[in-house]
């Protein structure tokens, strides 16, 4: 992929859902969630080049997704339409975050596009205004704009900062793509978890994921990965899957586990991040 030298590169970090509960189904068909979101040191790179016309060009959309449906393209178009900007942009995506894993790569790419173009196009939207705009793009995009560890409510757009101790994570990616729509519409999905009163990192222990049982039922590859990673500690699925992760208190412990599981799986050993690397750009 040829990226011109005058394009600028920006990071788009992945996320984990350390805890995910479904507290009800809404009249519009969406589900009310509660979740702890954590940024992690696994990154896509979003390369951008400013245009003086209104053209938005995504040079390498995700395979199988039409350009106009790619979240990075939609983010730029949404900001342009919302603000009336007469500027454009060229976009290149260097993907390192696996797709279909529940790590939020596409949503993070979109958030990075919004953060940078809000400054480049001199839109001057506040963080909350960007979050409100991003709700129409996808449930995870607001979190990446919020930019720090968060307890999320609603469909993921109501965000409150939460303190998470420093942790390192081992992540494994089974060779399967989980359909989020299929899981949310499954008749066996837990939809009546009790809402939290005063959520903290400690009060929500032990963490769980209400989607996990249904994913295990429908995708035996994810169940197998969960069982194998569980040999090293309390493994959990992130989002609607398919990635399984394990939290540790030290890089050495995480790396030791990674060395074992990476022989059988696409795997990652990453640190948790306190804030988004572009947090100060808003």
Catalytic residues: 15, 140
Q: Is 104 marked within a binding site?
A: yes
Q: Is 180 marked within a binding site?
A: no
d(CA 273, CA 32): 26
Q: Is 88 marked within a binding site?
A: no
Q: Is 41 marked within a binding site?
A: no
Q: Is 98 marked within a binding site?
A: yes
Q: Is 24 marked within a binding site?
A: no
Q: Is 195 marked within a binding site?
A: no
Q: Is 108 marked within a binding site?
A: yes
Q: Is 154 marked within a binding site?
A: no
- Give the residue ranges of the annotated binding site for ATP: 98-108
- Give the residue ranges of the annotated binding site: 98-108
């Amino acid at each position: 992929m040829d990226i011109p030298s005058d394009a600028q590169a920006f990071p788009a970090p992945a996320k984990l859902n350390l805890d995910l509960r479904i507290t009800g189904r809404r009249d519009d068909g969406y589900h009310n969630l509660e979740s702890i979101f954590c940024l992690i040191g696994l990154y896509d790179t979003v390369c951008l080049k400013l245009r003086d016309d209104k053209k938005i060009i995504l040079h390498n959309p995700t395979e199988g997704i039409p350009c106009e449906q790619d979240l990075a393209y939609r983010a730029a178009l949404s900001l342009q339409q919302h603000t009336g900007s007469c500027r454009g942009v060229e976009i290149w995506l260097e993907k390192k975050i696996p797709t279909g894993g529940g790590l939020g790569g596409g949503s993070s790419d979109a958030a990075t596009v919004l953060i940078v173009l809000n400054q480049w196009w001199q839109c001057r939207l506040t963080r909350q205004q960007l979050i409100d705009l991003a709700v129409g793009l996808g449930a995870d995009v607001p979190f990446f704009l919020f930019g720090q560890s968060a307890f999320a409510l609603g469909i993921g757009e109501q965000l409150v900062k939460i303190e998470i101790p420093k942790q390192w994570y081992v992540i494994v990616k089974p060779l399967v793509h989980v359909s989020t729509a299929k899981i949310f519409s499954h008749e066996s999905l837990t939809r009546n978890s009790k809402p939290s009163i005063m959520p903290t990192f400690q009060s929500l222990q032990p963490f769980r994921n209400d989607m996990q049982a249904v994913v295990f039922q429908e995708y035996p590859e994810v169940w197998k990965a969960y069982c194998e990673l569980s040999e090293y500690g309390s493994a959990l699925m992130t989002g609607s899957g398919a990635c399984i992760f394990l939290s540790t208190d030290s890089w050495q412990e995480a790396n030791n586990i990674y060395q074992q599981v990476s022989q059988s799986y696409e795997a990652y050993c990453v640190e948790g991040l306190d804030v988004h690397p572009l947090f100060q750009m808003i």
